[in-house]
Amino acid sequence: MAPDLAHVQKQTFQVLEHLLNDDSEVGFRSGDIETDGPDDEFDAASIAEKLRKVADALNEDANFQAKLRELKVAVAQEALEKTLHSGVDTLVQSHVGQKAEVAPELQLIKATMALGLYLKQTCPGLRQQLQTTIGTFLNQRVGPWIQEQGGWERVAAASQQNTSL
């Protein structure tokens, strides 16, 4: 008879505990695990060790390593985009950004630049990704407005006249 779902979920966490922690952090090894389900042969440490061997073999595969590098870049890019979008929106919506005399698009540009410079200083390794992310963000959010103003030269001149964010 198959174990119920709650029991399988509990076992999954036990296996992961052994797989992801050092043995000394787990505090118990094979044979020390109480099983209260129908499968008395369940051994989280043994299962974790088998899964570790499979993962180690995959980690030696060049194609797998290439995909992992792609995944890391994608995750970093997505995190950077989310951080930039939410950070800029928060800055623009803050009390400081509620200056009626400053166009909302200009507030957005100023907040984006401020956050971009901060991220550049704190995450220098992401400079190229940051440049791409900010460029895409600005083009999507205020590109048409910049065009309507006559281009970046006029936007820059307007931003100098009104330096408050």
Q: Please tell me the total count of domains within the chain.
A: 2
Q: Are residues 45 and 68 in the same domain?
A: no
Domain carrying residue 101: 63-161
Sequential pLDDT tens for the chain (165 residues)? 777 888 889 999 999 998 888 655 444 444 444 444 455 688 999 999 999 898 888 888 888 888 888 888 888 888 989 988 888 888 877 755 555 556 788 888 988 988 889 888 888 888 888 899 999 999 999 999 999 998 998 888 877 776 544
Q: Are residues 16 and 89 in the same domain?
A: no
Q: 163 phi and psi, to 5 degrees? A: -80, -10
Q: What is the DSSP letter of 38?
A: S
Token couple for 66: 């290439």
Contact 129, 77 (CB under 8 A): yes
Torsion sign (Cα): 43, 47, 52, 53: positive
At 2, which amino acid appears?
A: A
The residue ranges of DSSP E strands in 4-49, in sequence order, are none
Q: Are residues 83 and 129 in the same domain?
A: yes
Q: Are residues 26 and 102 in the same domain?
A: no
Q: Are residues 55 and 83 in the same domain?
A: no
Q: Are residues 9 and 32 in the same domain?
A: yes
DSSP 107-132: HHHHHHHHHHHHHHHH-GGGHHHHHH
Q: Are residues 46 and 70 in the same domain?
A: no
pLDDT at 74: 84
At 6, which amino acid appears?
A: A
- How far apart CA 153 and CA 147 sit, in angstroms, is 10
C-alpha distances (whole Å) from 65 to each of 40, 56, 61, 127 are 37, 11, 6, 24
Q: Are residues 116 and 143 in the same domain?
A: yes
